[in-house]
Chain A
Amino acid sequence: MKKYILLLAAIILLSAAAIVLPPLFENETKEPVLADIVQDGRTIRTVDLADAPDEEFVVEYTGDVPGTNRIRIENGEIRVTEADCPDHICIGSGKLRKNGPPIVCLPHKLVIRYRDAGGIDGTAR
């Protein structure tokens, strides 16, 4: 009987360790992956996609073409999910890619981009 209790305790301890330990290691060793959310040339928020909790928030623009963009952060990916801009190009761009161009909503002057854009200095299009 005692043997079983020990075995059970060992299994519980090991599985607990398996759950608790890896995030501890990850948190400390992961490089930050910074993405800037820029509105009209001003960085309004910076998120570390390597360590960002899932969330959704709305960014409001009050300039020439006023409106909102809903931004979702999920599993370390960032995208625009809803917007009331005329073209919806920001939504169509999908998630921000490490080796891709920034997400841009021209009407709302919104840009989501990696701070270190994979060593790219500019995009020709």
Chain B
Amino acid sequence: MKFRTFLAGLAAVLVLAGCGAKNPAQPQELPSERRAESSFYAMDTRITVTAYGKARNEAASYAEKRIRELEKHLSVTDPASDIHRLNAREANYVGLDTERVLTASLQMYEKTGGLFDPTIYPLVRAWGFTTDEHRVPSAEEISALLPQNNAARIKYEYTGSSVTADIENVLKDGETKGTLVLLPDGAELDLGGIAKGYAGEDIARQFEKINISGALVNLGGNVQTYGEKPDGSPWRIGLQSPWDTSKYLGVLNVSGYPHAMTAVVTSGSYQRYFIDEKGIRRHHIIDPRTGCPAESNLASATVVGPSGTECDAFATALFIMGAEGAAEYWQTHWGKTVIGIILVTEDGHIRISENLADHFTPSEEDPLPLEVIHR
């Protein structure tokens, strides 16, 4: 015991003398590393916001407020949301946020050749993914619910603040919900495939206006970075293994330069699925062409780029395309851009686009074979 006391005394002396770099009781914190973190649950997932810089506390609380606000408008289950009311044909007018996300999702519908489709909600419900009461719908039921070309037939128009006749369309604070949206018969919207990406991007854009040097918003695995860490080192984003959620496949280094904002969004069949009566695994990513879970040879598709909104929608579309289709899409559309992709195939291969290859460090524990997709 005496020896122990001696060591403790020695440690105390070292700490007092300023040589003790490590103080076990409290992790040290340099002034430049001061950060604010908030963690909460919204949009059906766990969200963490980490912010560095002078306005870090305001940034963290702003982010939470903003995400809850977006959820209130975009939730497909909340009876008071714009989306729920549109789907139930209770209202035709939506607010600015809903209009923007709807606009973005229809643009993504175009860009992905319809593979990202915001109108597949009736199918998602038929498969039971909205209530977790999973079932396999009959072929007739599926074909009746196919979205056809519904997304392209949505009409919407900003009508300004003159829309005050319907009291329901006027928010308590006097804001007017001024965009008229007309959905084709049978169509129901679900912006869940883009809302998290939009939220992360929207918040990062707000951070540009305040005194924040760097921030990371993680919406349940949907990551958006802004700026840099205090020491200028890249953000390190772990890519979760589709087969073992306690492991990473590798780490992606995301630098704050030259692009202040970078999103990393993954779409995977491993996140939500059920096993049907015949023992077939049915995951939640519905192919709008077939109305069934996408038959993809991918376990996950990750898209890295400045816009969280686009990455979110593209991740879903690339997953549906499969490994070959997704690689080709990247070569055709993004070969000369900063947008990068990481594809993980069902048979355990990683295919990574050339522009990301230098930024990705595979895990040392059982690394998967890695191939580079060239321009």
Contacts and interface: CB of A to CB of B under 8 A. Distances in A.
A109 B44 CA distance: 11
B24 interface: yes
B4 A120 contact: no
Interface majority SS (helix, strand, loop, mixed), chain B: strand
Contacts of B221: 123-125
A121 B245 contact: no
Contacts of B236: 119-121
A109 B46 contact: yes
Interface stretch (B142-150, B263-271, B316-324): B263-271
Interface size class of chain A, counting residues whose CB lies under 8 Å from the partner chain: 35 or more
A97 interface: yes
Contacts of A124: 221-223, 237-240, 252, 264-266, 302
B: interface residue count bin: 35 or more
Interface of A: 24, 27-28, 31-32, 34, 38, 40-41, 48, 86, 89, 92-97, 99-101, 103-104, 106, 109, 111, 115-116, 119-125
Interface stretch (B33-41, B100-108, B277-285): B33-41
Given A119-B236, A122-B216, A123-B238, A32 B24 contact: yes
Interface string B255-266: 000000000111
B11 A28 contact: yes
20 contacts: A24-B3, A28-B7, A40-B41, A48-B24, A86-B132, A92-B245, A97-B247, A100-B238, A109-B46, A115-B27, A121-B50, A121-B237, A122-B264, A123-B218, A123-B221, A124-B237, A124-B240, A124-B252, A124-B265, A124-B302
A104 to B, nearest CB: 6
Contacts of A121: 50, 216, 225, 229, 235-237
A87 B268 CA distance: 18
